[in-house]
Structure 1
Amino acid sequence: MSALAGLAFAGLTGCAQLPLGEPAASFGNIEKAGRSGTAPVAVGPFRLDPDAAPGIDAGLSVRSNVVVSPIQGSFAQYLRQTLITDLQAAGLYDPASPSEISGFLTDSTLDVPLDTGHASLGARFVVVRLGKAVYDKELKVSASWPSSFVGMEAIPSGVNQYGALYHTLVGKLLDDPDYQAANPK
């Protein structure tokens, strides 16, 4: 069943797992990566931050449905794949690079009430270059949007808003002057 059909079915029946779509490259992030002046990087492990609530990596409840990651059932892995996808499309992904980005998922929320929806995403990114940590920073992004009483409208809108935060967070990393200074060409 497609994700859209799954969302429609969930809106009618009430209880379903709703997977995010597979990460696709973001044109905006390809441009940001190209302008960043950074060297190609490898992407290491991404996992849940030890201080974060264990459940935020596995799924998010939305009006009796559960949003899940199609990448190993983990939002941390979804963030990792989103980063790889954007870097590959920009020509800045190199598994053999002396610089490696790893990450820790610190925040992942989605709330779709009857008035205004809210979502947030955060991660601590660590860049190690030639065995030395040169960047270690937590970045966060969030979104708010008008929500609907009708679940068949509100749920897909919320899932789309939440899913878009992954590219927004990667873009925030690529725009960060500290990241750019830590991984110059």
Structure 2
Amino acid sequence: MAIVFRPQGLRWRTCTCALLLAALATGCAQLGAPPYAADYEALDRLEARNPGKVAVAKVQPTDPNDKINTLGLRRAKLVSPSGSFAQYLEDALVRDLGEISVYDPKAPTRIAARILVNELDLGVVNGTGRMDVEVTVTRNAAQTLRKTYRGEIAFDSSYANIVAVPAGQAAYPRLVRALLRQVYGDPQFVAAIAPSAP
């Protein structure tokens, strides 16, 4: 008797694509942003500079209805699994800093961030993303840095929604990584979170 193996991953992708196509056709698709994945090269470089312990303040804006926390992908809507894109960024920061063992919610050095621009443009052939974030670092309530960083990405898109919308959905974690890569690689940021003198 022949045994036929049916790959579950392929079946899942087929069903997902079918559901996405149906939702797009009715104009009611709501898609979750994929989980954030760290840029380990950027984190290794930051760790090599011996940063001090840091806390992370609540990233702004916290209102889930704020335009920053709403991303349209043509007739679909991209939503954050964290409830808002501000929380998505906060979770990414905490995770990254925890990866290199410098995150400490009680540390006197605190990173605060406000998202100013949060955009994905699917285009017709090429898609783009842009995120601008104002980062403020304080140490014992004294400000040591206030600077705006920009992350930008490009990705393949299409006139067809069934191609372009999943491409935009998949691109969001890349956009957050691009933004944080700019932050972690900035010498002024590194100096602001350096260990305080004894």
**Coarse TM-score class (shorter-chain normalised):** 0.7 to 0.9
Which residue does 2:125 correspond to in 1?
115
- Structure 2 residue 49 is matched with structure 1 residue 39: no
| Aligned length, in residue pairs | 178
Which residue does 2:68 correspond to in 1?
56
Which residue does 2:108 correspond to in 1?
98
Structure 2: gaps spanning 5 or more residues: 1-11
**TM-score, normalised by the number of residues in structure 2:** 0.81
Residues 37 and 24 of structure 1, relative CA distance in 2, 3 Å threshold: same
Check the 8 A contact 2:127/2:154 in 1, yes or no. Answer: yes
Which residue does 1:169 correspond to in 2?
179
**3-state SS in 1 of match to 2:158:** coil
**3-state SS in 1 of match to 2:106:** coil
The Cα shift of 1:101 comes to 0.4
- Structure 2 residue 109 is matched with structure 1 residue 67: no
**3-state SS in 2 of match to 1:47:** coil
Residues 106-185 of structure 1 correspond to what in structure 2 (within 5 A)? Answer: 106-185=116-195
Check the 8 A contact 2:34/2:172 in 1, yes or no. Answer: no
**2:31 maps to which of 18, 29, 38:** 18
Aligned amino acid, residue 90 of structure 1:
I
The Cα shift of 1:7 comes to 6.1
Aligned amino acid, residue 62 of structure 1:
L
Check the 8 A contact 2:38/2:96 in 1, yes or no. Answer: yes
Check the 8 A contact 2:151/2:180 in 1, yes or no. Answer: no
Provide the identity percentage: 28
Structure that is richer in strand per residue: 1
**3-state SS in 1 of match to 2:47:** helix
| The structure with more radius of gyration | 2
Check the 8 A contact 2:153/2:178 in 1, yes or no. Answer: no
Structure 1: gaps spanning 5 or more residues: none
Which residue does 2:6 correspond to in 1?
none
Residues 7 and 112 of structure 1, relative CA distance in 2, 3 Å threshold: farther
Check the 8 A contact 1:36/1:175 in 2, yes or no. Answer: no
Q: Deviations over 1:25-67 (max 9, x none)?
A: 3322321321233112011111129xxx93122x211120000
Residues 90 and 7 of structure 1, relative CA distance in 2, 3 Å threshold: farther
Check the 8 A contact 1:32/1:171 in 2, yes or no. Answer: no
Check the 8 A contact 1:108/1:120 in 2, yes or no. Answer: yes
**3-state SS in 2 of match to 1:46:** coil
**TM-score, normalised by the number of residues in structure 1:** 0.86
The Cα shift of 1:10 comes to 2.2
